[in-house]
Structure 1
Amino acid sequence: MRKTILDCDTVTLDEENGALVIVDQTQLPNRIEMLSLTNIEDIWEAIYLLKVRGAPAIGVSAAIGVYLAMKDIQTEDMGLFMKRFKKAKEYLATSRPTAVNLFWALDRMEAVAYKHGEGSVEEVKEALHQEAVRIREEDIEVCRRIGEHALSLVQPQAGLLTHCNAGKLAAVKYGTATAPMYLGQEKGYGFHIYVDETRPLLQGARLTAFELQSAGMDVTLICDNMVGAVMKKGLIDAVFVGCDRVAANGDTANKIGTSVVAAVAHYYGIPVYVCAPTSTIDMALSCGAEIPIEERSGDEITEMWYEKRMAPQGVKVYNPCFDVTDHELITGIVTEYGVVQEPYEESFQKIFQKAIL
């Protein structure tokens, strides 16, 4: 039987070989290639070059990566061990600036290291190991619960639109924005799913369309500037997108173009739901203007996808990786604890109370 992307774990820990194993997403959809990464430099590069991407998957990769960086350090000096840990953590934190899950996962690993700091170095290593595994397992459960809450917002046979890739390939399983699609497929909902190609890296065309088609769903790929056309024709009942960071007021950073989708949907009266694990909510930022936005090389627009360069030499290129969708354009934010709506800051505080309980 031919192997599909659904047969592969997006991110996992190879215990026997001490390696982070990922699907190389830069090779999709033409080739399914697994990478086995054992050193921190290769893990940093995989995150930076989007070989592994998507906020949840980045967080899991960072947790496993910092554990692997520490597991073979031979010392009984806890001070030296923690100094090396801090250096590894800070290094991985430089790989992507926008996805808050990266910092969330690294901070969790650091908290565990300090919690066990009164014990031996080997005890701290094992605690880091267990926490990395726990973060991965939690991601599966969180995405499933997001999917259940999101599925309650739509009816069978609905037309759904998504932007970028917030699917299985952006997490461990289910994804965030695609979680209701996977769960709906299991229940026979028969969704009609429209996928934006998502410029400039084409995560929608290369990844979302690929994985949903592999799962047997009814998928139609459209260019980013076609959202108005499909919405005007009445083909879209709801928009589900993921995110990389949510500010306290509900402003949300996601792949470039999400704000356009949300604005057009608002014009046509179509609900927009952002699927966001609580780990992506950054209460330290009051609004979206404070979210750092990664800018990438102009080559991704001018020549990456073409046999020959498709823009004049020397032309200036502006290539932000994300944009911010204002909270006024968002109908609801779907977390693992339920769907929250305005006022978001107050709603988030209630969600965090649920998390504590």
Structure 2
Amino acid sequence: GPVLYVSGEESVQQLKLRAQRLGIDGERLIVLAENDLDGIIEHLEKTRPMMAVIDSIQTVFMGGVTSAPGSVSQVRECAGRLMLLAKSSHIPIFLVGHVNKEGAIAGPRVLEHIVDTVLYLEGERHHSFRILRSQKNRFGSTDEIGVFEMRDSGMREVSDPSRAFLQDRSLSEVGNVVHVALEGSRPLLVELQSLTTASRFGAPRRSVNGIDLNRLHMLVAVLERRAHLDLGTDDVFVNAAGGVRLTEPAADLAVALAIASNKRNQPAGADLVAVGELGLSGELRRVSQLERRLIEAHRLGFKRAVIPAAAELRDPTLSAMTLLRAETISDAIDRCFG
């Protein structure tokens, strides 16, 4: 069946221009420029589409509600009526919502409580990759993600995200270490880059892109105290290449080894990955689903892995990898750089 796209912000003529640019023929697409909820529901009941998209819910209004579109009352009533229609007619309805500067849905939070599933499309402005992430799902897992690339012809699925995020020519450089992140249930190889340089100012700078700044402060303190690296007068910069955002503590070891690579002026090697959480005592802690992470690294041709000594691995395919087990960050640096 057809798909009904309801635009509350753009005219049909504007949508036609965009469709022509993206090469969409529109054979199975019905476009409606409408803000009145009663008119939208009338078209939904008349056309009975396979799926409907309302863009955006903040621009739709009900005539019986006196407040302005986008207010708590309007969003609650409009979303509630559309939800009842979707359940009674078995038509999946997607409600597009604006987000604020913090990345949360703009306006009242009541919208997230009404709907069955909340999906966020994340991505850095200056990078082409976009990650579709589920924050709520009443009928399935929230541990799955989709990775897409923004092109001139629209978004296209990235079939092998790990390979797409890696740049082979930079993996052998000083300060670069590959980490195997877990985005949902999907292992994702991310190149972590670091740079240390003598500070020209009284207070050294700590700058990050893609990881938490407070986490970097902790890792620098652990490296100074437990691994005896002199970083007190150095500016430290860390970047997760490709615009990926890492929030899991399993990236601690890769960040620490990248910084140590700079201080020693030795590359970790293009065939090495690092996975492990770092404690304040300098100990390496086990992380979840380590086997799945290492299997993905092995699939992409990585031959060595620095992992916590206490990690338990049973998969026979990992026997082809050289596993450098370490109990502390000092051990890990010695095993990695000799």
TM-score computed with the length of structure 2 as normaliser: 0.24
Higher helix share: 1
Task: Indicate the structure whose relative CO is greater, using CA pairs within 8 Å and at least 6 residues apart.
Answer: 1
Q: Which has the larger radius of gyration?
A: 2
TM-score computed with the length of structure 1 as normaliser: 0.23
